[in-house]
């Protein structure tokens, strides 16, 4: 090899050139691959964003959605009062006729019973409309309203809380006021005394579902998404629950500071603990058993 120094230098030079060319080609391929990856990521992000925009009627803004849902919820809460003021009007006549036709209202029912049945029917309708709005307009699952399948141990817990709250409310009311828990001077007391057993059970279930869906599901969930503070949502729900019961005439002052107060604390605490409205519906229905067994 020492006899051909120029040949050796030439071979080494060729090897170095080939090695450099291979490195440049590899670098070029790597650059092309990275550029391809960036383009694919950009395109997939663009397509994904387009799908989200087309699949949702509202922007992906949870706070805005919550504000809209809360507004719809407030409207649906007052819908029965708007459509059936004083349990009279054309809507009452229409619903009364339909209920009698399908056998859900006795032919001998009074006009008051017909109007009351119409109001309860619209309350059921309001709950259904709220759920439909959330699912089909907002494109949110029902779990966003706290509507999810409960665990059996949570159901047992709800029954236990309901019984305990019922006992505490009865005892506290008897200590402060004495006498029957259902006050005949309140709107609720007057209504209950006109209803039979089936009507009272219907009222119990209707009140439990309607009030819990709006006071707990809608109000608390929306306020949590708007403010980010669960404690604030709980306080607003408590004030609305207690205040509307008193100022609407549904509860006397004695009932408000005992029965309604205890119910509010129990229901809101349970909801914030489990975020499941079915559990609150159970507690509410158990506490309203006193309304069912109240003397006529």
Q: What confidence tens digit (pLDDT) does each residue in 95-136 have?
A: 999 999 998 888 888 888 899 999 999 999 999 999 999 999
**Location of structure tokens 């119409």:** 118
Task: Say if CB 134 and CB 213 are below 8 A apart.
Answer: no
User: Tell me, what's the pLDDT at 61?
Assistant: 86
Q: What's 134's DSSP letter?
A: I
Average pLDDT of span 86-93: 91
Q: Where are the alpha helices (DSSP H) in 135-255?
A: 152-176, 187-194, 197-212, 219-227, 230-247, 253-255
Cβ-contact 163, 287 below 8 angstroms: no
| CA–CA separation, 121 and 132 (whole Å) | 17
Percent of the chain topping pLDDT 70? 74
Grade residue 184 by pLDDT with cuts at 50, 70 and 90.
low
Structure tokens at 2: 């020492």
- pLDDT tens digits along 118-128: 999 999 999 99
Among candidates 145, 134, 136, 142, which has minimal Cα distance to 68?
134
pLDDT of residue 86: 86
d(CA 66, CA 71): 9
What is the mean pLDDT of the segment spanning 179-199?
69
Strands (E), the chain: none
DSSP state letter for 145: G
To the nearest 10 degrees (0 to 180), the angle between helices 90-101 and 111-132 is 90
Q: pLDDT: is 9 or 167 the higher one?
A: 167
Separation CA 167–CA 175 (nearest Å) = 12
Is the Cβ–Cβ distance between 144 and 265 less than 8 Å?
A: no
Dihedral sign for Cα atoms in the order 146, 150, 154, 155: positive
Q: What is the pLDDT of residues 208-231, one digit of tens each?
A: 999 999 999 999 999 999 999 999
Helix axes 230-247, 261-274, angle to 10 degrees: 150
Judged by DSSP in three states, 110 sits in: coil
pLDDT of residue 12: 47
Average pLDDT over residues 48-76: 72
Give the highest mean pLDDT range of 34-48, 89-103, 230-244: 230-244
Q: Report the predicted TM-score, pTM, of the whole model to 2 decimal places.
A: 0.78
> Model confidence at 235, in pLDDT bands (50, 70, 90)?
very high
Quickly state the pLDDT bin for 48 (edges 50, 70, 90).
Answer: very low
């Amino acid at each position: 090899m020492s006899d051909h120094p120029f040949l050796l230098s030439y071979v080494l030079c060729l090897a170095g050139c080939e090695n450099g060319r291979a490195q440049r080609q590899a670098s070029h391929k790597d650059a092309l691959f990275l550029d391809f990856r960036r383009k694919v990521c950009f395109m997939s992000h663009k397509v994904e964003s387009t799908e989200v925009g087309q699949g949702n009627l509202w922007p992906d803004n949870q706070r805005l959605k919550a504000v809209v849902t809360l507004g719809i919820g407030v409207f649906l809460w007052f819908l029965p009062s708007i459509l059936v003021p004083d349990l009279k009007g054309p809507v009452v006549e229409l619903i009364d006729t339909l209920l009698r036709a399908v056998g859900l209202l006795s032919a001998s029912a009074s006009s008051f019973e017909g109007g009351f049945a119409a109001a309860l029917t619209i309350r059921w309708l309001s709950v259904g409309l709220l759920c439909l709005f959330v699912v089909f307009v907002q494109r949110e699952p029902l779990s966003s309203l706290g509507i999810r399948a409960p665990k059996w141990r949570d159901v047992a817990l709800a029954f236990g809380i309901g019984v305990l709250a019922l006992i505490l409310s009865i005892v506290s009311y008897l200590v402060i006021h004495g006498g029957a828990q259902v006050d005949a001077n309140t709107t609720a007391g007057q209504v209950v005394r006109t209803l039979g057993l089936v009507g009272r059970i219907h009222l119990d279930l209707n009140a439990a579902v309607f009030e819990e869906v709006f006071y707990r599901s809608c109000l608390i969930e929306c306020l949590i998404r708007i403010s980010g503070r669960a404690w604030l949502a709980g306080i607003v729900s408590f004030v609305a629950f207690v205040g509307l019961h008193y100022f609407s005439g549904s509860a006397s002052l004695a009932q408000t500071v005992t029965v309604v107060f205890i119910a509010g604390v129990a229901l809101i605490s349970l909801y914030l603990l489990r975020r499941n409205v079915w559990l609150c519906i159970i507690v509410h229905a158990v506490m309203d058993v006193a309304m069912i067994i109240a003397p006529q």
